[in-house]
Chains A and B, each alone.
Chain A
Amino acid sequence: MKNNFLASRWGIVAVGAVIGIAAALLQKLGNPGNMGICVACFERDIAGAVGLHRAEVVQYVRPEIIGFVLGSFAAALLFREFRSRSGSSPFVRFILGIFAMIGALVFLGCPWRALLRLAGGDGNALFGIIGLVAGIWIGTLFLRGGYNLGRSQKTAAGAGLLMPLVMAGLLTLVLVYPPIVDQAKSGVLFYSLKGPGAMHAPLLLSLAAGLAIGFIAQRSRFCTMGAFRDLLLFGQTHLLGGVAALLVAAFATNMILGQFKAGFEGQPVAHTLIFWNFAGMLLAGLAFALAGGCPGRQLFLAGEGDGDAAVFVSGMIVGAAFSHNFGLASSPAGIGPHGMAAVVVGLAVCLFIGFTLRKSV
């Protein structure tokens, strides 16, 4: 049991590097700019594809997300780590998922995309990353003060199988109703004809990349939020090695592929509002820290049977629908009409959760 190379120092670095390279390649193959992989954006696209929101430019069932869950599921089964568990404050996690997504869509990206934007030369990402770290830092203050969401319980295997099954169902839908050229709808699924939702790598390549990343990320416990949290909380740099490797590998691959373009103006799927780049990720970072994982990590946990992580993922998908239905999400033109209010409400809710959930264990 002690030969899990991917959980070692060099293992996590290798996993981060693979994610960085794969993301840059997926962008080359058709995914949107500096968005080779973005867990928040891709879950948002899935919300659009099934009609939870009707923002026409961001609708596509992203096979990468399906792959992340199923790849993690496969790794957990193969290495006997699949363990069906649930019951650690699920509704709190749902709410945290909603506001994590709202914050991420004010910035326009999850922590992975923040790193990928930086690796592509988008200087605006710096303010997002500063906000992310600040939000996580606030989270560590709550953790030091005794904040926790309580224990989960072992549940029947069927409970933990549900998120992998949901993803298998989504995959089935895509295969039954694949995109049709110039059609905004195929069967029950919505497809973007323009905008980021219309930009995607070939389906099978996206799925394969997602499966591979899901597999190795489950083994390595790769987590961007955890990287900064462990540094701030314990002075530990284990997970940070993976984050640094992702950044460096994506940067190097972007240079080779000619995808690096330094600057602040005119960056793909990004706006230049310094404060809102910061504040969006401040909210997201705090929500990730209170929920115990970045969006990617929550998918990998859901794949290995963690029903509470599955609830967080569901919260993020619902949060994406709220973001676009209520004008909370940003666009390259700037923040949405109600983005400011959403960030303020979100921070208030997260602070409430941080101060009040101190169940003794």
Chain B
Amino acid sequence: MAATVDARGLSCPQPVLLTLDAMKTSEEHEIIVLVDTETSKENVLRAASSHGWSEKEVIAESDGFRITIMKPDRKK
């Protein structure tokens, strides 16, 4: 199971704020982030990688992108 953040329709910087929040609070190893613009996708991936999370996959959907990011392996 992965936690899901639905940031579709939200403008800067909400998608990143919600993603960082989920990264802090979620116990899950993976987080799925839904966004509706290319800009939000870039911002979420940039924020994730700056916290050591890696991009697992990005799927283009009809109303945006489904991004899956993974927690770094070290500890917890």
- Say yes or no for B32: interface residue by CB 8 A criterion: no
Contact A149 B13 (CB under 8 A): no
Given contacts A226-B12, A230-B13, A234-B20, contact A221 B50 (CB under 8 A): no
With A83-B37, A236-B50 in contact, do A292 and B42 touch (Cβ < 8 Å)? no
Judge whether A152 and B9 touch: CB under 8 Å: yes
Chain A residues with CB under 8 Å of B12's CB are 223, 226, 292-293
Chain B residue at minimal CB-CB distance from A297 = B12
CA gap between A114 and B69 in the complex, in Å: 38
Q: A7-B42, A81-B38, A221-B42 are in contact. Are A234 and B11 (CB under 8 A)?
A: no
Contact A151-B9, Cβ < 8 Å, known A81-B37, A83-B36, A234-B20: yes
Q: Are A292 and B36 neighbours in the complex by a CB distance under 8 Å?
A: no
Q: Tell me whether A154 and B63 are in contact (CB under 8 A).
A: yes
The yes or no answer to A200 lying at the interface (CB within 8 A) is: no
Given contacts A83-B37, A154-B63, A234-B47, whether A143 and B9 have CB atoms under 8 Å apart is no
Name the one of A81, A85, A233 contacting B13, with C-beta atoms under 8 angstroms. A233
A54 CB–B CB distance under 8 Å: no
CB pair B16–A4 under 8 Å, yes or no, is no
- Write out the residue numbers on chain A whose beta carbons fall within 8 Å of the beta carbon of B8: 151
The number of chain B residues touching the other chain, given as a range, is 20 to 34
Could you say which residues of chain B place their CB within 8 Å of the CB of A221? 39, 42-43
In the complex, whether B14 has a CB less than 8 A from a CB of chain A is yes
Provide the bound-state CA to CA distance between A308 and B11, in Å: 10
Please state if A238 and B63 are interface contacts (CB–CB under 8 Å).
no
Interface check B46, CB cutoff 8 A: yes
For A236, the chain B residues whose CB sits under 8 A away are 46-47, 50
Q: Does B10 contact A (CB under 8 A)?
A: yes
Question: Is A88 an interface position by the 8 A CB rule?
Answer: yes
**Cα–Cα, bound, A292→B38 (Å):** 16
In the complex, what residues of B have CB within 8 A of residue A153's CB?
9
Can you name the residue of chain A whose Cβ is closest to the Cβ of B55? A2
| Cα distance A233–B21 in the bound complex, in angstroms | 13
Expressed in whole angstroms, the minimum distance between the Cβ of A59 and any Cβ of chain B is 33
Which parts of B29-76 form the interface with A (CB within 8 Å)?
36-39, 42-43, 46-47, 50, 60, 63
Q: A153-B9, A223-B12, A236-B47 are in contact. List 14 more A-B contacts (CB 8 A).
A: A1-B38, A85-B9, A88-B11, A143-B17, A151-B9, A152-B10, A152-B11, A154-B36, A221-B42, A226-B13, A234-B47, A292-B11, A361-B10, A361-B18
The 4 closest A-B pairs by CB, nearest first: A151-B9, A152-B9, A292-B11, A292-B12
